[in-house]
Amino acid sequence: MHVRASYLLSCLVTAVAAEYDSPSSSICDALASALPNSTFAPETTTYNASISSYPFAQSRLHPTCIVRPQAAEDVATAVRLLRKSRGTKFAVKGGGHNANAGFNNIEDGITIDMQSLNRVEHYADVARVGAGALWQNVYDVVGKRGHAVLGGRIGVVGVAGFVTGGGISHFSPERGWACDYVVNFQIVLANGSIVNANATSHPSLFAALKGGQNNFGVITRFDLKTFLHGPVWGGRIVYAPQVDTALATAFTDFKYNQSVHPETYDPYAAGWVTFSYNQTAKAFLNAAVLWYTKPEVKPGALKDLTSLGPQVMNGMATGPVGDSTRNASMAVKASPPNRRTIWATTTFRITPTIVHSIHTLWKSLILDLYKTYPAAGFVPELTFQALPPPPRNSTPPNSLGFSPTSTPEKDLVFLQVVFHHTDGNATTGLTEKLKEFVNLFDGLAEEEGVKSDWIYLNFAAGFQDPLRGYGEEVLKRLRKVSKRYDPEGFFQRQTAGFKLWKGNGTDQHWW
Ligand SMILES: Cc1cc2nc3c(=O)[nH]c(=O)nc-3n(C[C@H](O)[C@H](O)[C@H](O)COP(=O)(O)OP(=O)(O)OC[C@H]3O[C@@H](n4cnc5c(N)ncnc54)[C@H](O)[C@@H]3O)c2cc1C
Ligand SMILES: *[C@@H]1O[C@H](CO)[C@@H](O)[C@H](O)[C@H]1NC(C)=O
Ligand SMILES: *[C@@H]1O[C@H](CO)[C@@H](O)[C@H](O)[C@H]1NC(C)=O
Ligand SMILES: *[C@@H]1O[C@H](CO)[C@@H](O)[C@H](O)[C@H]1NC(C)=O
Ligand SMILES: *[C@@H]1O[C@H](CO)[C@@H](O)[C@H](O)[C@H]1NC(C)=O
Ligand SMILES: *[C@@H]1O[C@H](CO)[C@@H](O)[C@H](O)[C@H]1NC(C)=O
Ligand SMILES: *[C@@H]1O[C@H](CO)[C@@H](O)[C@H](O)[C@H]1NC(C)=O
Ligand SMILES: *[C@@H]1O[C@H](CO)[C@@H](O)[C@H](O)[C@H]1NC(C)=O
Ligand SMILES: *[C@@H]1O[C@H](CO)[C@@H](O)[C@H](O)[C@H]1NC(C)=O
Ligand SMILES: *[C@@H]1O[C@H](CO)[C@@H](O)[C@H](O)[C@H]1NC(C)=O
């Protein structure tokens, strides 16, 4: 049996009888006795259901046990037990839609699956949302009273990861990041206490959670600001294969106009364009997913994108935002069950040429990958989208690193490089390719002098470093909050994700 040295040491120090067991299996025993109705061993129906609830095959890892807390107190109990065993690693799952293996599930450790904490209650203009809720739950509840929230544009995505990484919604061009609509986080800290972090209670923690994701605690409830909102106009448009350069041009015009003529900024125009490839048809697949949140004056700045043709399919429809997110989920649910997805992202300033140069290079690179991985079920995507405006001076800050006077919503664009595949043996090679693609695209942006250091955490690959992308000043602030609320570095050491310290020679941790 493989027993970690640090675990042996802690056994000696605490004079606990040595067990010839892994640290996680003894913690699982302790969890099962403290939370008998919420701890599940491998092979049980609930354990299996938790594993199959991950959307990507690479996330379906097998922990020693799964805890499904039914109340914030259960999370606190789990945290207190986990903290006692420094050798035990754990993962927290919100909606499970982060693509980085190990971030929301773990092999041979403990997974806290928040899915039972999914209650959504709506009072006046605040939705109280359990940290295991999916966005569709939230839209459905607040939609009954004609309200909307800044949430995911596809209903199946989880609230917890989305909000703590920033969160881009249909309404973001007008209203900003989803995390800026959080009025309160209920969170379990490393010492096991349950606190509220909001503008008046633990304000530095409140700011840190908006972009700092899982570095400070396990969030158990999000209180989100809601607002009355009528229907939106939106959906997916698929263009003919030859409409690829023209689509890049239409997206560039849309964004570049706003960058050079800020007064033309249209706060109701949202969405993205995606280039893909259909290997069966041997043709490029060009699509846009767009919304205009004020349908009575549509299409506004989306004009070039929505009128571009020929179109193969046009799903633009007017309806409540929750209908749109439910429709959008269907396409995602239709993807192959054994699909593995890896992704990475980078950000740059929009110019008349940069989207074209990246798109052209991407087209020349992907066909080679089909030759290298002919049987890997490979499907590549290249997506471009806009960023939300930062909170202005009078609103509580987030930790995403944009100054209150900056205008990333007008000047910057980010891209996602996505490699879907079905053969797990291709993942390592494709991840190297993903790195190479990002480096090449960054190189093009550098050549034009338009590369930004900012990296969107919610689409960042495990090998990227979005927290450093927020800038030195923000990183320092986040580290200070970590030292204050987690003085032993529990969330730095025992759970994966984007961490505040690398813990190597150049970037020493403090514990
Ligand atoms: C189909 C799809 C559509 C998407 N659409 C959008 C979009 O419209 N806009 C956008 O901005 N992004 C979008 N994303 C990206 C999305 O924001 C991220 O994938 C995000 O991680 C999803 O949140 P989750 O709760 O499902 O993730 P999870 O994988 O469950 O969690 C992600 C990270 O957050 C941590 N975490 C989870 N729960 C908690 C908690 N309770 N407390 C502390 N830490 C926690 C986890 O440990 C993990 O590291 C989309 C992704 C997919 C796959
Ligand atoms: C577990 O569930 C059983 C049956 O529903 C119940 O009687 C018991 O009180 C629960 N135990 C705990 C610790 O919640
Ligand atoms: C859970 O899944 C495992 C592995 O697929 C299987 O052997 C086991 O029978 C399943 N358990 C139940 C209760 O379905
Ligand atoms: C902020 O936290 C305090 C302390 O728990 C609480 O009394 C207050 O209601 C919270 N504010 C909001 C907006 O939730
Ligand atoms: C961009 O600006 C040009 C020139 O002012 C104009 O012709 C075009 O319609 C604008 N396009 C969009 C999408 O705003
Ligand atoms: C790819 O092309 C094939 C053959 O033309 C078609 O049947 C299939 O629907 C296409 N797939 C997508 C995702 O468009
Ligand atoms: C959702 O899809 C249905 C069925 O295709 C369609 O009738 C409806 O208009 C769509 N609604 C929205 C808001 O997209
Ligand atoms: C890799 O290929 C081997 C042999 O075909 C197979 O048994 C194994 O499951 C594959 N691994 C993954 C991660 O898919
Ligand atoms: C846990 O830490 C918080 C924040 O530092 C503090 O307010 C609280 O009193 C601590 N609780 C316990 C039980 O030590
Ligand atoms: C240590 O971390 C720094 C900062 O991120 C990184 O540049 C360096 O490569 C790391 N060194 C090792 C040995 O991992």
* CATH hierarchy code of domain 2-116: 3.30.43.10
Give the closest ligand to the alpha carbon of residue 191: 9
- Which secondary structure element, helix H or strand E, spans residue 430, and what is its range? helix 427-447
pLDDT in tens, 54-67: 999 999 999 999 99
pLDDT in tens, 481-493: 999 999 999 999 9
Predicted confidence (pLDDT) at residue 508 exceeds the cutoff of 90: no
Predicted confidence (pLDDT) at residue 10 exceeds the cutoff of 50: no
Predicted confidence (pLDDT) at residue 4 exceeds the cutoff of 80: no
**What fold does the segment set 120-229+469-493 form as a domain?**
3.30.465
Question: Would you state the structure tokens that stand for residue 440, as one six-digit string?
Answer: 């090449």
Q: Ligand 7, residue 316: give the atom nearest the CA.
A: 14
Nearest alpha-carbon partner for 455 in 213, 117, 182, 111: 213
Tell me what the mean pLDDT of segment 407-435 comes to.
98
Domain boundaries, the chain: 2-116, 120-229+469-493, 232-319+335-468
> What are the respective helix, strand and coil percentages of the chain, to the nearest 5?
40, 20, 40
Q: What does DSSP say about strands 317-319 and 194-198: parallel, antiparallel, or unpaired? A: unpaired
Å from CA of 374 to ligand 8 middle: 15
Å from CA of 43 to ligand 3 middle: 5
What residue owns the CA closest to ligand 5's atom 1? 257
- Whole-angstrom CA distances from 311 to 178, 278, 290, 324 are 32, 16, 14, 20
Å from CA of 62 to ligand 3 middle: 12
CA-to-CA distance for 316 and 302, rounded, in angstroms?
Answer: 12
Q: What does DSSP say about strands 227-228 and 147-148: parallel, antiparallel, or unpaired? A: antiparallel
Predicted confidence (pLDDT) at residue 389 exceeds the cutoff of 90: yes
pLDDT of residue 334: 87
pLDDT of residue 21: 58
pLDDT in tens, 291-314: 999 999 999 999 999 999 999 999
Å from CA of 167 to ligand 4 middle: 23
Q: Is the CB of 17 under 6 A from ligand 6?
A: no
pLDDT of residue 510: 87
pLDDT in tens, 95-118: 999 999 999 999 999 999 999 999
Tell me what the mean pLDDT of segment 235-251 comes to.
97
Q: Give buried/exposed letters for 427-446 (b at 16+ CB in 10 A, else e).
A: beebbebbeebbeebbebbe
Percent of the chain exceeding pLDDT 70 equals 96
Q: Is the CB of 353 under 6 A from ligand 6?
A: no
Q: Is the CB of 334 under 6 A from ligand 6?
A: no
pLDDT of residue 32: 98
CATH top-level class of 232-319+335-468? alpha beta
